[in-house]
Amino acid sequence: MKKLINAPDKVVDEALAGMAAAHPGLITLHTEPNFIVRADAPVRGKVALVSGGGSGHEPMHGGFVGRGMLDAACPGAVFTSPTPDQVLAATKAVDGGAGVLHIVKNYTGDVLNFEMAADLAKEEGLDVGAVVIDDDVAVQDSLYTAGRRGVGGTVLAEKICGGAAEAGADLASLAALCAEVKASVRSMGLALTACTVPHIGKPNFALGEDEMEFGIGIHGEPGRKRVTLEPADRVAEMLMAPILADLPFKPGDRVLLFVNGMGGTPLIELYIVFRAAHEIARRHGLTVARSLVGNYITSLEMAGTSITLLRLTDAMIAHWDAPVLTPSLRWGA
C-alpha cells in the first residue's frame, strides 16, 4: 500500500485537521464527534443542509461545506457511514431555527445512521427532513432490495439545494426541490483500478491490465461485471447508454453533464471522456446547459470515472449558478 499517510487509524482525523488548517475562513472542524460546519454557522432563519458519509470520497462532503452549499458534513471512518451522534451534533450545531434537511446517500449504513440521528433530533424538538439520493443506474431498483446507491447526483443535489436554501427556501420546499433533483438525476461509474482501504492494506479486487470493472459504486466494492478495457469513447457510450435510457432523457431536455474522476484519474483523461459524453448527449438531442468535470466524489486513489446527467429546470439552473463558497466548489463569491 503506497499512500501519503502516517497510520491507517489516523487518516481521517489528520485529513480533517489538514482541511481545517487549509480553509480557516470557510469551515470549522469539530472533533469528538467529528463534523465540519461552515464558519458562520448557525445561520439564523436559513434552513440548514447536513450531509455526510464515509471518508475516502474527498472532496465530498467536507469540501462542499460553506456558503451556498452544505452547512455541515459528517465524515465517518473510511468508507463507513458516520454514527448518529455525529449527525445529531452537526444537526444541532447548524440549526438556525428554520429546520434542517439531511441529504443522505442511499446506503443501508448511511440511511440507518441518519434516520437514528433524525429521530433523536426530532425528540429534541428540531424540525428535520431527509432526502435519500439514489441515482446509480448500475443497480437494479426493486421494492425488495436496498435499492440504488447514491453517487454523483449527491454533489449536484447539495449545490442546488444549497443555492435554494441561501435564497430563503423553507424546509418543505427545499425537501421538494431535493426530491425533484433526485428524481431527475442518473449516474453510472467504472473503474480502471481498485483502491486500497488503509486499514485493509490491499485492494478489494484485482483487475488485469486489460480489464475494467463496470457499474461500480464509490466504496471500492466490485461492480456489476468485469469487462475488457475499451477506448474512452466506448467507455462514455457504455456509461451514457443506460443513463439516457433510464430516466429517460428526451430530445430537447436541458441537462447538467458531470464527468467525475474516482480519485486517481487525472483531468486530462476526464476531459477526453467529457468530450465523448458531450457528443453523445448532443446526438441524443440534449442541450448541455451546465457542466462539471473533475474529481468530486471519489474512491480514494481509484482510477476510473463516473458520469452523472441531471435534467435541469430553470430553478435548478438558477440555484446551480448561485454563488458558492466552499473549499472545493467555489464561484461568484
Partner 1 sequence: MADALDVAVLTEWLKRAAATINARQAYLSELDAAIGDGDHGANLARGFNAVIAKLGTPADPAILFKTVGMTLIGTVGGASGPLYGSFFLEMAKAVQGSAALDAAAWPRVLAAGVAGVVARGKAEPGDKTMVDALAPAVAALNAAAPLADTLAASAAAARQGAEATVPMIARKGRASYLGERSAGHPDPGATSSAMLLAALAEAAG
Ligand X SMILES: Nc1ncnc2c1ncn2[C@@H]1O[C@H](COP(=O)(O)OP(=O)(O)O)[C@@H](O)[C@H]1O
For the CB of residue 278, give the shortest distance to partner 1 in the complex, in Å: 28
Give the footprint of a second copy on residues 257-296 (CB under 8 A): 259, 263-276, 278, 288, 291, 293-295
- In the set 30, 92, 224, 330, which binds partner 1 (CB under 8 A)? 224
* Contact between residue 73 and residue 16 where contact means Cβ atoms under 8 Å apart: no
Which 52-71 residues touch a second copy, going by CB under 8 A? 55-56, 58-59, 63
> Which has the closest alpha carbon to 111: 90, 132, 83?
132
Considering beta carbons, is residue 96 or 109 the nearer one to ligand X?
109
Q: How far apart are CA 60 and CA 219, in angstroms?
A: 13
Please state, in angstroms and as integers, the Cα–Cα distance from residue 184 to each residue in 5, 130, 240, 269, following that order. 38, 17, 15, 27
235 lies in the binding site for a second copy (CB under 8 A): yes
The catalytically annotated residue of 102, 219, 278, 319 is 219
Q: Which of 15, 30, 109, 272 binds partner 1 (CB under 8 A)?
A: 109
Q: Quick check: is 57 catalytic? A: yes
Whole-angstrom distance, CA of residue 248 vs CA of residue 224: 21
Torsion, Cα 102 105 111 115, to 10 degrees, reads 0
Q: Please report how close the Cβ of residue 219 comes to ligand X at its closest, in angstroms.
A: 7
Q: Does 80 bind Mg ion (CB under 5 A)?
A: yes
Which has the closest alpha carbon to 220: 192, 200, 197, 238? 197
* Residue 78 is a binding residue for partner 1 (CB under 8 A): yes
Residue 102 designated active-site: no
Q: What burial class does residue 184 get, using C-beta atoms within 10 Å of its C-beta: 0-12 exposed, 13-18 middle, 19+ buried?
A: buried
Specify whether the CB–CB gap between 82 and 74 falls below 8 A. Answer: yes
Grid cell of 151 as nine digits: 453517487
Residues forming contacts to a second copy in the complex (CB under 8 A) are: 2-7, 11, 14-19, 21-23, 55-56, 58-59, 63, 192-193, 209, 229, 231-233, 235, 259, 263-276, 278, 288, 291, 293-295, 298, 300-301, 303-305, 325, 328, 330-333
Active site residues: 57, 219
